[in-house]
Amino acid sequence: MTDEPINVLVLCTGNSARSVLAECLINDLGGGKWKAHSAGSRPTGNVNPLSIEILREKGHSVDGLRSKSWDEFALPGAPQMDLVITVCDNAAGEVCPIWPGHPSKLHIGFPDPAVAEGSKETQLAAFRGVYAMIEAKVRKLIEVGPQRAQEI
């Protein structure tokens, strides 16, 4: 058994909402045994402010969160991933870089809360709903482990 954490890369197209929420949840719920990163195929360059608001509301640290390209994780010296998770259908259908170590892959699609329209409270409700969906899946993932990730 190794003391190294399970490295997870969570991918979405823009890396501004769903993938960032999942990154925080995996890191916080993983108890140091999981280390998550997030990235996008076409990152927006900014984490959605409502993602930040929901994460703070739920007690997560948002220090160091940023929207970044998945290319960072295909470079020499990047952390070797054990599991790559796509959280949006667009990213799941894209041709991904070749990840060092050839990690397992998993797709768990979630609705995009960033497209919610209406009042700020309506938009926050969309983010809260997606956060809850991601939290449930992350809890299950941590329970079953990366070898059984396809079961969640």
Catalytically annotated residues:
12, 88, 96
Residue with tokens 């390209």: 69
C-alpha–C-alpha distance, residues 15 and 9, integer Å: 11
C-alpha–C-alpha distance, residues 69 and 43, integer Å: 6
